[in-house]
Each structure stands twice: as structure tokens, then as C-alpha cells.
Structure 1
């Protein structure tokens, strides 16, 4: 990974906003896969405010999700629900350019349907659909997307999306390894000292990082950009 280190989470979020939303949308159409969880919340909030809100060409952006919890969009756990409340309700993005994963649907069926949707919207590299930007997070157990260490088969699963299960038993729909790696650009957004040990392990290629899904992705895409406030 190529690190870009900033002093505060807000500076990190502003840099990612410029790289993932502002500049690409000013250049043309852009298809972005968003991660959920708590880390992107600040990014979304800043994008919903001026001056970033007006700097983005929302009419040129298509949004997708890297992963989703299998819950209704009104559930506090819903990645889409969080994104809607912090970003989508506040920016002029066309409704038909927001492609949510239906967490309330049957997981196996929805994973297949979302594979079809992504395949119909994106170009292919010969095997896999190609996002312009995939925005990834990092869990303190080394997971990314909803690919956890106990389900390494999702790192090589050929279907673009598949059903995953968190260590606590929650079912999720997750973007899988090959389609993550096929993206034109990969951006890791990692903030907070709680993420420091796992991030340092990945960057130093320490033995403990061998089973981390995020380490697998980083190892296969050395050009992935890391935006962080962690001192490395």
C-alpha cells in the first residue's frame, strides 16, 4: 500500500473526498463502491457540507456498496441507512444512480441479484466487473469488505458478491476478492489508534498478518492507496 498520512481524521476524510469524489467526478462518470461501518461516517458528513458538496459532480456518480448487513435499511446496523442519513439525504445525486444492496431480502438471492446489477452497470476486464474506485476499511481483526479471517474462501470467490457471516453470526453480503482486486483504484480509509496494531502488522508483513484478508488484498495490489492518521 502507498501511505498518505494526515494529522487528524478530518484531514484524512477531506483527502479521500477529493481523491474519490471531487476529482474523478469532475473528469467524467465514476462508479464507486462504498464501505460501511463507523469510519466513513465523517467522510460522508463532510461531503454533505460545503464546500465539498458543490465541488462534486453528483450527476456523474454511481454509488454501490462494498458490503451490507442483512438487515432492513431502517436498522441501525444498515450501511445503506447510515450513508443515506449522513450523505444521500443531503446531496443532489439522482436516485437511479444509487444502487443499494437490499439487506432485508433473502441473502443468497440478493447476492446473486446484486452480482447481476453490478455486471449490467460496469465494464468487465474479461472476467470481473470493474469499479472505478473501491473504498475499503479495515477491522481490528484484519477484515475488509465483510471478508473475515475465518472465511478466506471469499478472497478467491469468483462471484462478485457472496454471503458472508461475521464472527458474531450476522449474515452479510460482501464484495469478494477478485472483484476488489479488479478495481481501477483501491483506497483504504483507516483512522484511529485502535486500528494501528493491525495496520502496522500488514505494512511490515509480519507473520501475524498472514491470515488477515486486508493483508491479502494489499499484497495483491501494492498500488492501493492508504489514507490514515496512524503514525507508521
Structure 2
């Protein structure tokens, strides 16, 4: 595990943007699974401005690590946020944008999206391999849409599953643990004071952390990199 601790959320987003650009320059084509949340929104704004002309967007393919089961025009849609903050502002071929169809039946969509990913990506030990998966972490320790009450999704044999938000019951389509752990680069982007306790528990291997899905992300053949700001890292020992 590698931890990159940056001063602010913007610095954190920039550090990841630099990492993504380095991967692109070294490898050309990239498959990237995107995340929702406040830090990715900052990242997308950055990619659409300062980094707009640094990428060959025709060589980047975007997927989503999870998506709420809502139409793409809904304010809850991760796709809508990405479209407004990035996709509308860059020249990326439509064929390179592989969204979850959140307006469709969740079970059928999880199966369709699984098949799409499996047909487009190389496999290792039976799992599709993304070049980069962007991950967030909730205050409950969830990542993608794998929540503590459905931690069994970490071991699902499927590529995608239907997850349920523990409070609202909202359905979501999410990558499963084995696919996340098959990535060449699993990258957490975590910022904010409200994440510092979970960060400390995960990084210091506390027993309670084992109940957090984020704790169990550890790529089998790839790299695990945490991009975190000083607020989220506040309880870590030097």
C-alpha cells in the first residue's frame, strides 16, 4: 500500500490527475472506472481545465465503479455529475463512455454491465482487469457501493451486483470486490475531517477496520494507492 498525503482536496485531486496522466503516457490506452463524490467532482473540474489538452481522450475509456439506479438526468446520478463537470468539456468519443443504465431494471442492468465489462477488458484469474479504479470511502467505511451490511459483495463471483443503501434502500449497481482487487491500480481519493477516524483504523490495522469494506481492498497483482488530504490523515502517526 502506498499513501500520498496532500495538503488540500484540490492538491489531492491534482496528485491523482498527475498519476493518471503518467499512466496514460506510459501505457497509451487506459480503462478507468470512475467514482462519484465531492473529491472526484474536484478532479473532474481539474481534468476538464488544466489537463484538458494533456490527454489523448480517444485512448481513454470511462466506466463507473458504481451507479445509483436513477435516470441519467437525476441529480443523484454519478454519470450526470461526470457529464456536467468533465464529459461535456472534453473531446471524448461517445464510444469510449460506458455508463451504467441506471434507469433500467437493476438486476438486468447489473448483468448487462457485467457482460459489457467482461467483453471489453482483459481478464486475469477470471476477473476483468481495469487499468485504474477510482474509489471513495464513506464515513461508514464503504467503498464503491459495497456497504458494511452487504460485505459479502467483496467475495461475489459476479462482476457487478445490485447493492442497497443501508438507510434509503436505494438500489445501486456496483463492481464487486474481486473485480476491484483485480485492477492494475486501485486508487482511493479520500478527503475531509470526517474520514480521519476510519483512515487511522484502516491504516493501523485495527480489529474494527475488518468490518469496513474499504479495508479489504488490496489488489492481488496490482497497486493500492491512497490519495488523502491532511484533514483525513490527521490522526495518523508520523
State the partner residue of 2:6: 6
Alignment correspondent of 1:192: 192
Deviation at 1:2, TM superposition (A): 1.2
**Structure-to-structure mapping, 1:1-232, within 5 angstroms:** 1-20=1-20, 22-27=21-26, 28-50=28-50, 52-168=51-167, 169-218=169-218, 223-229=223-229, 230-231=232-233, 232=236
Contact 2:185–2:224 (Cα < 8 Å) also in 1 = yes
The question of whether the paired residues in 2 share the 8 Å contact of 1:185 and 1:224 is answered with yes
For normalisation by structure 1, the TM-score amounts to 0.95
Q: CA deviation at 1:208?
A: 1.7
Alignment CA distance shift 1:12-1:199 (3 Å): same
Per the TM alignment, residue 26 of structure 1 is displaced from its structure 2 partner at its CA by: 2.4
Q: Tell me whether 32-41 or 168-177 shows the greater mean CA deviation.
A: 32-41
**Using the alignment, how far apart are the partners of 1:19 and 1:118 within structure 2?**
23
Superposed displacement of residue 221, structure 1? 7.9
* Contact 2:13-2:39 at 8 Å conserved across structures: no
Per the alignment, in what secondary structure is the counterpart of residue 3 of structure 2? strand
Task: Please list the CA deviations of residues 122-149 of structure 1 after superposition, one character each: whole Å capped at 9, or x if unmatched.
Answer: 0011301100111111000000010000
Kept in 1: contact 2:184–2:219 (CA 8 A): no
Q: Which runs of 5+ in 1 are unaligned?
A: none
Query: Any conservation in 1 of the 2:182–2:222 contact (CA below 8 Å)?
Result: no
* Cα separation, 1, equivalents of 2:18 and 2:197: 27
SS of the residue 1:224 aligns to: strand
Aligned partners of 1:25 and 1:58 also within 8 Å: no
1:33-82 CA-to-partner distances (Å, cap 9, x unmatched) read 011122210000000003x1111111100000000000001111000010
- Give the superposition deviation at 1:219: 8.6
Which portions of structure 1, spanning 4 or more consecutive aligned residues, are displaced by more than 6 angstroms?
219-222
Whole-angstrom CA distance in 2 between matches of 1:80 and 1:219: 25
- Structural RMSD (CA): 1.4
The farther-off stretch of 22-31 and 194-203 is: 22-31
How many residues align? The count is: 230
1:219 to 1:185, Cα distance in 2 relative to 1, 3 A:
closer
Question: Quick check: 2:181–2:218 contact (8 Å CA) kept in 1?
Answer: no
Unaligned runs of 5+ in 2: none
For the residue of structure 2 that corresponds to 1:189, the secondary structure is strand
For residue 195 of structure 1, give the secondary structure of its aligned residue in structure 2: helix
CA gap 1:176/1:116 in 2 versus in 1, 3 angstroms: same
**d(CA) in 1 for partners of 2:166, 2:221:** 26
